Amino acid sequence: MAFRPYDAALVLRGPSAGAVTSTTAETGIALEVLKAGPFKAVFTVTAADDTTGDETYALSIETDADTDFGSPTEIISLPVTEPGVYEWPLSSELIGQFDTSAAAIRVKATLGGTTPSITYGAYLSPQA
């Protein structure tokens, strides 16, 4: 699996943060996403348990007016079925359609099934 360089200030979940075994929202970062132009969310999934066959995983990008995420807005949700690198294009225009006061961004992993466990990292990157 290829790993790409990234700006540490744009990391939403560190690549060595370990496994997640229940639905978990990460700590958000302050970012003027409504002024960011085109960028993308990059998810690097290194493990996703499928022992019982009923495990489900979705990685989401959420925004809010501040980093306490008292009222988050889901911008995208990406189903994950296996390890790999997943990229999702984003833009200030797209985010503005869902959240006109977005000033912070975070990643959330929604897990289901009998023995869910996913190991992943996530960061934001300018569109190439």
Gap between the Cα atoms of 72 and 55, Å rounded:
25
pLDDT 10s digits, 13-40: 998 899 999 999 999 999 998 998 899 9
- C-alpha separations of 72 from 50, 65, 109 in Å: 29, 8, 14
pLDDT 10s digits, 40-76: 999 999 999 999 999 999 999 999 999 999 999 999 9
Give the global pTM: 0.91
Give me the residue spans of the domains in the chain: 20-126
Find the Cα–Cα–Cα–Cα dihedral 48, 52, 56, 57, rounded to 10°.
-20
Gap between the Cα atoms of 97 and 117, Å rounded:
32
Domain made up of 20-126: CATH architecture:
Sandwich (2.60)
